[in-house]
Amino acid sequence: MTYRNASLFFSAFLTVAAAFGPSTAEAGRAHVILDANTGQILEAENADAINYPASLTKMMTLYLTFEALHQKRFGWDDRLVMSENAESKEPYKFAVGAGNKITVREAVMGMIVLSTNDAAVAVAETLAGSEQAFGQMMTAKARALGMTSTVFTNPAGLPDPNQVTTAADMARLGLALMRDYPEEYKLFATTCLTFRSMKFRGHNNLLSTYPGADGIKTGYTKASGYNLVSSASNGSRRVVGVVLGGDSAAERDGQMAALFDKYLGAQSGQ
């Protein structure tokens, strides 16, 4: 079964999740793992519970960035002006200074590897004029992708009680990125970034510690706990997993590795 057919299979699960999920964020623990090729839900716990996405939000910002690139609304080498608003977004940012520019390629790689908030806002302001307008675009796209329990209000994932999602919806988004932008999806496997002669290591440690892991995004705020969407393959099966509300990055990564071991065959010790 193709990724597109898998997404249709998974949409039925999401519809049920939306119907019975709570209406306010709990910031609790949740996970889901699915077979990326068939859409089969392999295991889920609290997958329909409303939680905060934190920087997993940038997955949608990147989805819309890839869409804009394919639609020729801008190019990889186009330059984005860093506004004062974008420059103000702590803690992770390029910090080039308001009025200066970064390329779309730098923005994409910054969001993937370093979770740069200023880059996310620069993309949002370029494509939609404001964070608020981009949040509306993000939510509309979420609905189009079957993410019925997700609301986005800003492109970076910075704290907002109205910006919510579920583990089920994040798995859906991970599958959509894989299916709709397979070449760009490969960028999520990047572990290091050189930005204007400065070298940085990314936050997604599972890429370096788990054989077969190839993405995709970490997230953390105090309200959300430690979040991760990840995919891995053993050569014959690919899975997409989501862990929300971890107590630490190490604990979150360990839970994801255990899920991978369970459904791919133990690999973390190889």
Task: Assign 106 a pLDDT band (cuts: 50, 70, 90).
Answer: very high
Secondary structure letter of residue 113 according to DSSP: I
Active site residues per annotation: 55, 58, 115
Give 235's contacts (C-beta < 8 A, 6+ positions apart).
Answer: 212
Query: Looking at the predicted structure, is the pLDDT value of residue 23 above 80?
Result: no
Secondary structure letter of residue 55 according to DSSP: G
Task: Assign 268 a pLDDT band (cuts: 50, 70, 90).
Answer: low
Question: CA 253, CA 243: separation in Å to the nearest integer?
Answer: 9
Q: CATH classification of 3-264 is 3.30.70.600, yes or no?
A: no
Give me the torsion for CA of 124, 126, 132, 135, rounded to 10°.
-40
Query: Looking at the predicted structure, is the pLDDT value of residue 19 above 90?
Result: no
- For the chain, the maximum distance between any two Cα atoms, rounded to a whole number of angstroms, is 50
Task: Assign 196 a pLDDT band (cuts: 50, 70, 90).
Answer: confident
Query: Looking at the predicted structure, is the pLDDT value of residue 1 above 70?
Result: no
Which parts of the chain fold into alpha helices (H)?
3-20, 58-70, 84-87, 104-109, 117-128, 131-144, 167-180, 182-185, 206-209, 249-264
- Residue 267: what pLDDT? 60
pTM: 0.89
Query: Looking at the predicted structure, is the pLDDT value of residue 45 above 60?
Result: yes
- Residue 269: what pLDDT? 46
